[in-house]
Amino acid sequence: MKKTLIILFLSFAFLGYSQKKENKKTVAIKPKAEFVAELLSKMTLDEKLGQLNLPTSGDITTGQAKTSDVAKKIEEGKVGGLFNIKSVQKIKEVQRIAVEKSRLKIPLIFGMDVIHGYETTFPIPLGLSCTWDMKLIERSAQIAAQEASADGINWTFSPMVDISRDPRWGRVSEGSGEDPFLGSQIAKAMVNGYQQNDLSKNNSILACVKHFALYGAPEGGRDYNTVDMSHIRMYNDYFPPYKAAVDAGAGSVMASFNEVDGIPATGSKWLMTEVLRKQWGFKGFVVTDFTGIPEMIAHGMGDLQAVSALALNAGVEMDMVGEGFLNTLKKSLEEKKVTIEQINNAVTLILNAKYDLGLFADPYKYCDENRAKTEIFTAASREECRKISAQSLVLLKNNNQLLPLKKSGTIALIGPLADAKNNMSGTWSVATKGENCISLLAGIQEVAGKSTKVLYAKGSNLDYDETFETNATMFGKTLNRDSRSKEEMIAEAVKVANQSDVIVAALGESAEMSGESSSRTNLEIPQAQKDLLNALLKTGKPVVLVLFDGRPLVINDENATVPAILNVWFAGSEAGYAIADVLFGDVNPSGKLTSTFPRSVGQIPIYYAHKNTGRPLVNTEGKFEKFRSNYIDERNEPLFPFGYGLSYTKFEYSNLKISADKMNSNGKITVSVEVANTGNFDGKEVVQLYIKDVIGSVTRPVRELKGFQKITLKKGERQTVTFEIREDDLKFYNTDLQFVAEPGQFEVFVGGNSNADNKVSFNLVN
């Protein structure tokens, strides 16, 4: 009883607590609704607007805008949170200002772009998606949360769930590819990994789903550009991953830069209120992207006061960097352009998040220096990262079983990305310490063992154009440009190659050739590297192309001439080890593409779930047919389809069966297929199920992914894989935006990629 009385005594009537001892234990406080309401009633208008303000600390800059006098503003109650400040020591000092010097002692929330790991860096999200393994993806987010929270961070601007079907757009690297079904599964996994369904844990962090909405479909593939599409396409193809993340309990959402229906997303009431809150039931808060509010001025939506009011009225609660809310909403309130109820609601949602994170009970919850010393970049996390990274690599070609390599003889490792550890983490790896990353050279030397001789030559610069290379190697990711002539560099590479048994060519994009504001019109490997590769091929030595990229590239020439191609994306801090593990067969590659590889930029946008025209091309041999939907100068088919990926072993599909030829609306059908490992290696295969709605009230895609399972088969082993199909799997949004399943015929395809031709069919009946 005495203990209970003591706890009740410690409970706040308001905020009667002192934080002079940051190591004090968590104290009991009132239930959230009551606590937040009482706090809100004590706040001045300036303090309320302060909670809506999210400046950057300046520790890491993600844009051109700057803020100043942050500490003074925190003390005055004019800051609700900070982002991109790193380390427990720095965060603790800033938090101390908020909870000891500000009037109401409201703690700050600390955010960071923890996109694909913290210091232990996993593959870029596009690469991570190619694992098709939700447990591994969730685990990567969990480790990221563990490390970030140990370093004081409690909010991440991730996951990015934007569907993109245009690899010209640089931020395709930051998403999970082209498919809404797979993207939805990954969105849920990432949210669960970050938040762990329990934000009261000190190793979970608040997720922020971005970018709402449609950011991945800009005209021309140019970042920040206009997006214009029908609502039926929004709901069927682009909205599902956002909704899946919201359904998984994501605590916050970030508005996108692009316009939707002629209104910038940051000012779209239809998006933020009608869709997000009313239709989907989102209960968290919405934050803008970097300077998202003032950027609406350039869109032509008015001055800073006007666009700030527009954003608040739309349903945006927090202003990242722009300070439009802080500096203009008081005037807009006086002029009745916004209401105090809107401001109070926004503040309440942000305070709710802080409460859920446990910051009112213990503002220093994430400031344990012991955790910072023992839970970041640990050997255990690095080992998990290495295994996950190896699962993300996609074997595109392997003629005559050139791979795996033998751990003997002489290997020539050549290329500008062979010894480039600072590039291994890829784009959006702001917390990564490049010096800790493992280069391909270091990885091969370690994994190959003492019986293998490894020779190295750079061979070429990233590109002949020095300015281009400078722009493509920002943020400390330089490739240390070589001043020698291209002839000298190639001659050295050829000399090294001639001494080898096999050549491993490490070519492709540098880390910052993809990512934000890294759109490209030419998706080929830079010419300097093409010239190097051609010289290596002329030696007559077998060549393995280890292809680094943050997007699908156009590699027709390479596919025609190089016997083996391993697409490695940017595999993270353990990249060198993970790639070497696959090259030498310690790990059998099992990655499958989540984004289609085009034959030509002219095919873009290109994706498997396209619709037929009234004049579809029937032949698949690339034969041109006049008055059919095709090109004069290129085939319709991609170079590598969605879901594609080879293995060192072979998988054969047979005996596809369906449990019935009819299904009632409340019933289910089981589809089964036998998968056999007929090769010489144990391996993993992603068994994929696609469905085609043959006749609909609106035109339907030629097929859509509706299920997948990643299985492990030993050589010679056979397994029956089963899928259940229910009515919900057949639903889509019709022209009235009703989510319906229409009676009629459905075809089911099962195989190892989206071109699977094993087919059964059934009818949905009322």
Q: Catalytic residues, which ones?
A: 289
CA distance 397 to 350: 50
Q: Is the dihedral of CA 144, 149, 153, 158 positive or negative?
A: positive
d(CA 389, CA 704) in angstroms, rounded, equals: 27
How far is C-alpha 224 from the chain's CA centre?
17
Q: Is residue 169 left, alpha or beta, with left meaning phi > 0 and alpha meaning psi from -120 to 50?
A: beta
User: Do the bridges between strand 394-398 and strand 564-567 make them parallel or antiparallel, or are there none, so unpaired?
Assistant: antiparallel
H or E element that contains 226 = none
Q: What angle do CA 669, 672, 675 make, to 5 degrees?
A: 165
Place of tokens 């001892």: 21
Count the neighbouring beta carbons within 10 Å of the beta carbon of residue 31: 8
Using CA atoms, how far apart are residues 716 and 710, in angstroms rounded to an integer?
17
What region, left, alpha or beta, does residue 691 occupy, with left being phi > 0 and alpha being psi -120 to 50 degrees? beta
| CA gap 325, 47 in Å, rounded | 12
Angle at 133 (CA atoms; ends 711, 157), nearest 5 degrees: 175
- One-letter amino acid at 647 equals S
Q: What residues pair up with 544 in beta bridges, in sequence order?
A: 504, 564
**What distance lies between CA 380 and its chain's CA centroid?**
23
Ramachandran area for residue 632 (φ above 0: left; ψ -120 to 50: alpha; else beta): alpha
Burial class (CB within 10 angstroms; exposed 0-12, middle 13-18, buried 19+) of 336: exposed
Q: Could you tell me if 414 and 459 are in contact, meaning their C-beta atoms sit under 8 angstroms apart?
A: yes
Name the token pair of 245.
């993340």
